[in-house]
């Protein structure tokens, strides 16, 4: 049951190609940084090869550096943000957890080195704490047999510890134990590294420390909470290797020592016996917070907010310390998994070594002189400080590979100093530029995935100076960045320097969007107050030409070098023109046209389609709408993906009939032309929280995105083959569309709407006396609106007018059943269904059609309101429908009392009035 079977994937003719990329439209290939808030893991087993595991969002980064180049392998395995990682003593098995969804155990030794196979998750535990709370920390025992997780911590309750013998495969934990609620949430978990006590562990909480053990014979967890002693804000706790003691560090710069184990059971207990530790003493080591403590090679190592790393012996006597040049708070210390260096290696085997290699004697010579080159401690004996290499990570996201024996410090990986606020992709070169909250521009070469140039913009943090938007000019000569305080920073990306007149300030409002014209002569800046500012380039300087405000702008796009359009939350589309002729007495920026394009939906994104004759607009009711780019006349309405929020950031793939967009969490690839086919798009999960932006770089055939709280920009390789394969198996005609209906193509719903389709042709309004009726698969376009209402799409008059305009583009007066069904599926409400009783109750209450008590509907008042509010209904039509629905109220009353023509719009509704109905009865009649 506990045997692990080796997994060796074979190469089946797709060498060098990732199997996930063959199945997914987008495959994550690279990230520009990592999350410094999650402690990294150093799983290096050789001094010549650095192997690290980092976290970035819901992705694990398996990093390798062999001295010549860096290699990063991102693997997505979590639904939420990764918050904790751990590994066993060999570094083969790695455990990771997200905030609440799952715990994964990864096997790093998968396949051979030459095949470059990614590590795989061989064990997943879903929702270990269910609804009780989040996962706080996870850890693997050094022998890799046991998985320990801590979390829960619901409101007013304490945390829990759960342990699994994960190699067996049980879905339920072997044992669970609760922790005192007064100790707060869990911060870290650590198993004891000593061979005889590997089933012991220590839990660090906000207000205390808990020691525990796992009894493998009794299959039981046991914990021991030392007596309270007044300390708070614990950060980390470790067992001191080679002793029975433990050390904790706090945010106040304290080190708390815990005494040796004291057995409370009779002799003969195993390593899982109940042991007890007591508070021994405390030492005030720093006036700064000590964030991390580790025990390695008979030494205790700490890292603090002063950027200082200190080495102590097992009795907490200071031995050695050092600081880096840039003093940054230390957040992580992780030592290599190699064996401890020998202090006094034998010299005889070296003299008799007959190995043919020339490098071996050099390495052995260095090992012989290790005590001479190692730094000396501060004791009177001045003994050498010999410790294996380790990696430290700072709060600002810098990673350092440190070897104090050889006095080597090397910076690794790409730093992630702050949360990304904006990024842009070069239009012609394989280049990416990011900007973080500290105003640091970083340009990356997308071919080598290496940092090319950096620029520190002197932003004013106290005046909201962070840069919120970036854009390259189409010619690639300029890089514009808009800031929160209204500054516009202009940089030259080739040299990554600021231009002479930078920054420009024409407003004190936040700049939330910048966009260059196609010829790079003009620049549009959209402020938080929705003012559009036009700038013109004169040689190397940018001058303000004009400003205007139209609506609460959502998105904009250039139609040509002098015209552009915008959409806004006022449900209008506006066209602007740029007047560059100084001889003509016109405004430099003027509004040419303003047309309403929505009735109740809010537009969310805008895209100019290839050819320049059509504008694609997405709205928050999960629709794509096509408009003529000059007349703004609606042409088609199509169903958009409705699984995960509205479509945003529409981006066209140059030279291909595809475009990309994002929703709340997903990145979609959609094929053109759009027709509402649900098999024409595929998606991947792009972010655990919320995606903020999307860009496309066709030079490397990749998409780039980032989301809330990210320290990195994600690079996704685009592959259209899965989408084309998906369409091959979707079927033709109505087959893919009928999957959106209950029961599919052969379901009762399709049969019913087909029956109504033919019934429309034999209805009295279409009959001609005694003439012979001929049924055909075609319907008059004048009958389509009422037919769609009869099968479940309750459209408004505005939507009916748009539908009739769209049907004119078919070029015929009759539509087939297939065409009408597609219209129905594309125009109907994407989510939900027909109005419910609660919807009707809300509507009549909102328009004021209820009586004084609010529990009854005044029918006479409702008739008057329907004839005067919103889209006014014809009085005769209103009266006809009310007489059919409510015959008791309108059937036998004189026109002066109950009819529409004689109603005054004012009536007192009481319990005996026949013109009043309860809201429940009124809703039941309509539903």
The sign one gets for the Cα dihedral 365, 369, 373, 377 is positive
- Across the range 282-305, mean pLDDT stands at 92
Query: How does pLDDT run across 10-46, given as a tens digit for each residue?
Result: 444 444 455 556 788 999 999 998 999 999 999 998 8
114 vs 432, higher pLDDT: 432
Q: Are residues 655 and 738 in the same domain?
A: no
Residue 270 falls inside a structural domain: no
Contact 279, 256 (CB under 8 A): yes
Contact 470, 516 (CB under 8 A): no
Q: Are residues 785 and 643 in the same domain?
A: no
User: Over 60: is that where the pLDDT of 173 sits?
Assistant: yes
Mean pLDDT, the chain, as a whole number? 84
Q: Are residues 629 and 555 in the same domain?
A: yes
State residue 515's pLDDT score: 94
Residue 204 falls inside a structural domain: no
Reading the block at residue 549, the tokens are 């405000």
User: Over 50: is that where the pLDDT of 364 sits?
Assistant: no
Q: Which 8-state DSSP code applies to residue 744?
A: G
Q: Which residue has the tokens 């609760």?
A: 178
State how many domains the chain has.
3
| 3-state secondary structure at position 827 | helix
Give the separation between CA 808 and CA 785, rounded to whole angstroms: 13
Q: CA-based angle 39:43:48, to the nearest 5?
A: 125
Q: DSSP secondary structure string, 434-493?
A: EEETT-EEEEEETTTTEEEEEEE----GGGT--EEEEEE-TTSS-EEEEETTSEEEEEET
157 vs 893, higher pLDDT: 157
763 vs 547, higher pLDDT: 547
pLDDT band at 705; cut points 50, 70, 90: very high
State residue 301's pLDDT score: 95
Query: How does pLDDT run across 64-91, given as a tens digit for each residue?
Result: 988 777 888 999 989 899 999 999 988 9
Q: Are residues 647 and 507 in the same domain?
A: yes
State residue 764's pLDDT score: 58
Q: Are residues 862 and 816 in the same domain?
A: no
Burial 49-65 (b: 16+ CB within 10 A, else e): ebbbbbbbbbbbbbbeb
Give the separation between CA 884 and CA 879, rounded to whole angstroms: 9
Give the separation between CA 63 and CA 74, rounded to whole angstroms: 9
Residues 6+ apart with CB under 8 A from 367: 341, 342, 345
Give the separation between CA 857 and CA 909, rounded to whole angstroms: 8
> How many CA atoms lie less than 13 Å away from 285 in the CB half-sphere?
32
Q: Are residues 819 and 842 in the same domain?
A: no
Bridge partners (DSSP) listed for residue 674: none
Q: Which 8-state DSSP code applies to residue 91?
A: S
- Across the range 484-492, mean pLDDT stands at 91
Reading the block at residue 516, the tokens are 């260059």
618 vs 846, higher pLDDT: 618
Burial 532-562 (b: 16+ CB within 10 A, else e): bbbbbbeeeebebbbbbebbebbbbbbbeeb
Residue 645 falls inside a structural domain: yes
Q: Which 8-state DSSP code applies to residue 324?
A: -
User: Over 70: is that where the pLDDT of 904 sits?
Assistant: no
Reading the block at residue 851, the tokens are 């009586």
% of the chain residues with pLDDT over 70: 86
325 vs 593, higher pLDDT: 593
Query: How does pLDDT run across 675-692, given as a tens digit for each residue?
Result: 999 999 999 999 999 999
Q: How many CB atoms sit inside 10 A of residue 309's CB?
A: 22
User: Checking DSSP bridges between strand 440-445 and strand 431-436, what pairing results, if any?
Assistant: antiparallel
> How many CA atoms lie less than 13 Å away from 560 in the CB half-sphere?
10
User: Over 80: is that where the pLDDT of 927 sits?
Assistant: no
Residue 472 falls inside a structural domain: yes
Residue 609 falls inside a structural domain: yes
Lowest mean pLDDT among 178-192, 585-599, 844-858: 844-858
Q: Which of 827, 845, 868 is the last residue of a domain?
A: 827
State residue 632's pLDDT score: 93
Contact 718, 702 (CB under 8 A): yes
Residue 434 falls inside a structural domain: no
Separation of CA 46 from chain center: 35
Give the separation between CA 287 and CA 251, rounded to whole angstroms: 9
* Helix (H) or strand (E) run with residue 808 in it: helix 797-808
Instruction: Compute the chain's Rg from CA coordinates.
Output: 35
Bridge partners (DSSP) listed for residue 715: 30, 704
Residue 417 falls inside a structural domain: no
Q: CA-based angle 153:156:160, to the nearest 5?
A: 30
Question: Which CATH number characterizes residue 594's domain?
Answer: 2.130.10.10
Mean pLDDT: which of 181-185, 384-388, 635-639, 784-788 is highest? 635-639
Q: Which residue has the tokens 């099968």?
A: 791
267 vs 796, higher pLDDT: 796
Q: DSSP secondary structure string, 248-261?
A: EEETTSEEEEE---
State residue 620's pLDDT score: 93
Q: Which 8-state DSSP code applies to residue 847?
A: H
Q: Which of 101, 100, 193 is nearest to 140 (CA)?
A: 193
Separation of CA 225 from chain center: 39
Residues 6+ apart with CB under 8 A from 890: 859, 879, 882, 883, 898, 899
Give the separation between CA 332 and CA 41, rounded to whole angstroms: 9
Give the separation between CA 136 and CA 204, rounded to whole angstroms: 11
* Residue 296, phi then psi, degrees to nearest 5: -155, 140
Cα separations in angstroms, 663 against 98, 291, 417, 719, 829: 22, 38, 27, 19, 18
Give the separation between CA 523 and CA 511, rounded to whole angstroms: 13
State residue 464's pLDDT score: 76
Q: Are residues 549 and 682 in the same domain?
A: yes
Query: How does pLDDT run across 235-272, given as a tens digit for each residue?
Result: 999 999 888 899 999 999 999 999 887 765 544 444 44
Q: Are residues 800 and 872 in the same domain?
A: no
User: Over 90: is that where the pLDDT of 570 sits?
Assistant: yes
- Which domain range does residue 841 map to? 837-890+913-926
Whole-prediction pTM value?
A: 0.86
Q: Are residues 819 and 886 in the same domain?
A: no
Separation of CA 68 from chain center: 33
The full length of the chain comes to: 927
State residue 315's pLDDT score: 87
User: Checking DSSP bridges between strand 82-87 and strand 70-76, what pairing results, if any?
Assistant: unpaired
* Residue 845, phi then psi, degrees to nearest 5: -70, -40
* Helix (H) or strand (E) run with residue 824 in it: helix 817-827
488 vs 343, higher pLDDT: 488
Burial 748-770 (b: 16+ CB within 10 A, else e): eebeebeeebeebbeeeeeeeee
Maximum Cα–Cα distance across the chain: 123
Residues 6+ apart with CB under 8 A from 125: 102, 103, 147, 149, 164, 166, 171
Q: Are residues 682 and 752 in the same domain?
A: no
Residue 481 falls inside a structural domain: yes
Reading the block at residue 810, the tokens are 């078919």
pLDDT band at 353; cut points 50, 70, 90: very low
Cα separations in angstroms, 843 against 335, 846, 875: 65, 5, 20
Query: How does pLDDT run across 835-887, given as a tens digit for each residue?
Result: 777 778 888 888 887 776 667 888 878 888 888 877 777 777 777 777 777 77
Q: Are residues 573 and 633 in the same domain?
A: yes
Residue spans of alpha helices (H) in 848-905:
859-866, 875-885, 887-890
Residues 6+ apart with CB under 8 A from 658: 669, 670, 671, 672, 720, 723
Question: Which CATH number characterizes residue 803's domain?
Answer: 1.10.238.10
664 vs 858, higher pLDDT: 664
Mean pLDDT: which of 243-247, 664-668, 904-908 is highest? 664-668
Q: Are residues 754 and 791 in the same domain?
A: yes
């Amino acid at each position: 049951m506990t045997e692990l079977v080796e997994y060796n994937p074979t190469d089946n003719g797709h060498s060098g190609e990732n199997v996930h990329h063959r199945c997914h439209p987008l495959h994550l290939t690279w990230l520009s940084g990592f999350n410094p808030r999650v402690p990294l893991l150093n799983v290096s087993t050789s001094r010549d090869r650095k192997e690290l595991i980092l976290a970035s969002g819901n992705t694990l980064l398996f990093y390798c550096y062999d001295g010549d180049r860096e290699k990063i392998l991102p693997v997505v395995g979590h639904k939420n943000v990764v918050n904790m990682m751990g590994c066993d003593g060999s570094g083969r098995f790695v455990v990771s957890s997200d905030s609440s969804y799952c715990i994964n155990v990864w096997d790093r030794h998968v396949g051979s080195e030459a095949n470059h196979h990614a590590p795989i998750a061989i064990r997943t535990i879903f929702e270990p704490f269910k609804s009780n709370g989040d996962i706080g920390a996870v850890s693997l025992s050094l022998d890799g047999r046991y998985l320990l997780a801590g979390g829960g911590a619901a409101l007013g309750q304490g945390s829990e510890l759960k342990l699994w013998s994960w190699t067996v495969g049980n879905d339920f934990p072997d044992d669970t134990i609760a922790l005192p609620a007064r100790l707060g949430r869990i911060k870290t978990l650590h198993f004891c590294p000593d061979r005889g006590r590997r089933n012991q562990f220590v839990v660090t909480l906000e207000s205390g420390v808990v020691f525990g053990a796992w009894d493998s014979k009794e299959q039981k967890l046991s914990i021991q909470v030392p007596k309270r002693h007044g300390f708070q804000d614990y950060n980390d706790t470790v067992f001191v290797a080679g002793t029975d003691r433990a050390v904790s560090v706090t945010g106040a710069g304290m080190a708390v020592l815990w005494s040796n184990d004291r057995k409370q059971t009779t002799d003969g207990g195993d390593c899982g016996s109940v042991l007890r530790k007591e508070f021994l003493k405390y030492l005030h080591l720093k006036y700064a917070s000590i964030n991390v403590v580790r025990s390695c090679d008979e030494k205790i190592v700490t890292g603090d907010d002063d950027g200082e790393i200190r080495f102590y012996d097992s009795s907490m006597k200071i031995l050695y310390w050092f600081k880096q040049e840039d003093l940054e708070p230390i957040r992580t210390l992780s030592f290599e998994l190699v064996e401890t260096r020998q202090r006094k290696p034998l010299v005889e085997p070296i003299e008799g070594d007959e190995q043919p290699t020339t490098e071996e004697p050099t390495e052995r010579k260095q090992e012989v002189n290790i005590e001479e080159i190692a730094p000396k401690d501060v004791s009177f004996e001045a003994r050498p400080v010999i410790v294996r290499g380790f990696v430290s990570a700072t709060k600002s996201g810098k990673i350092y590979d440190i070897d104090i024996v050889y006095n080597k410090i090397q910076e690794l990986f790409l730093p992630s100093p702050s949360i990304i606020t904006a990024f842009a992709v070069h239009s012609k070169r394989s280049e990416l530029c990011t900007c973080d909250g500290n105003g640091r521009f970083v340009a990356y070469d997308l071919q080598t995935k290496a940092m090319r140039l950096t620029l520190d913009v002197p932003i004013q943090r106290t005046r909201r100076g962070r840069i919120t938007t970036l854009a390259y000019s189409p010619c690639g000569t300029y890089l514009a960045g808009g800031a929160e305080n209204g500054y516009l920073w202009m940089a030259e990306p080739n040299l990554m320097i600021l231009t002479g007149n930078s920054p420009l300030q024409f407003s004190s409002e936040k700049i939330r969007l910048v966009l260059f014209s196609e010829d790079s002569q003009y620049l549009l800046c959209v402020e938080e107050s929705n003012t559009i500012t036009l700038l013109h380039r004169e040689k190397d300087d940018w001058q303000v030409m004009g400003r205007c405000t139209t609506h609460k702008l959502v998105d904009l796009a250039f139609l040509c070098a002098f015209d552009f359009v915008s959409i806004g939350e006022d449900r209008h589309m506006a066209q602007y023109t740029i007047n560059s002729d100084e001889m003509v007495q016109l405004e430099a920026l003027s509004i040419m046209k303003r047309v309403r394009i929505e009735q109740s939906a809010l537009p969310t994104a805008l895209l100019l389609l290839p050819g320049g004759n059509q504008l694609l607009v997405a709205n928050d009711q999960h629709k794509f709408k096509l408009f003529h780019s000059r007349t703004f006349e609606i042409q088609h309405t199509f169903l958009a993906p409705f699984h995960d929020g509205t479509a945003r950031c529409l981006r066209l793939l140059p030279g291909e009939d595809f475009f990309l967009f994002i929703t709340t969490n997903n990145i979609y690839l959609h094929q053109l032309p759009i027709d509402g086919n649900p098999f024409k798009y595929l998606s991947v999960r792009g972010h655990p929280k919320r995606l903020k932006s999307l860009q496309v770089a066709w030079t490397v055939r990749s998409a780039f995105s980032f989301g809330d709280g990210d320290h990195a920009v994600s690079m996704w390789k685009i592959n259209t083959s899965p989408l084309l394969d998906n369409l091959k198996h979707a079927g033709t005609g109505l087959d893919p569309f009928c999957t959106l209906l209950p029961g599919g193509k052969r379901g009762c719903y399709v049969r019913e709407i087909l029956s109504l389709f033919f019934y429309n042709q034999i209805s009295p309004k279409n009959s001609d006396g005694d003439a012979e009726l001929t049924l055909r698969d075609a319907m008059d376009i004048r009958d389509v609106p009422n037919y769609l209402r009869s099968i479940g799409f309750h459209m408004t008059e505005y939507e009916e007018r748009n539908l009739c305009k769209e049907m004119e583009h078919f070029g015929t007066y009759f539509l087939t059943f297939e065409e009408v069904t597609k219209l129905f599926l594309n125009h109907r409400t994407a989510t939900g269904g027909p109005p419910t009783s609660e919807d009707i109750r809300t509507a009549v209450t909102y328009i004021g059609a209820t009586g004084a008590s609010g529990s009854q509907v005044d029918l006479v008042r409702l008739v008057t309101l329907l004839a005067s509010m919103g889209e006014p209904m014809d009085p005769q039509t209103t009266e006809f429908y009310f007489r059919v629905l409510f015959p008791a109220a309108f059937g036998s009353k004189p026109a002066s009392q109950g009819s529409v023509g004689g109603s005054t719009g004012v009536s007192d509704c009481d319990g005996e009035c026949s013109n009043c109905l309860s809201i429940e009865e009124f809703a039941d009649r309509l539903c």
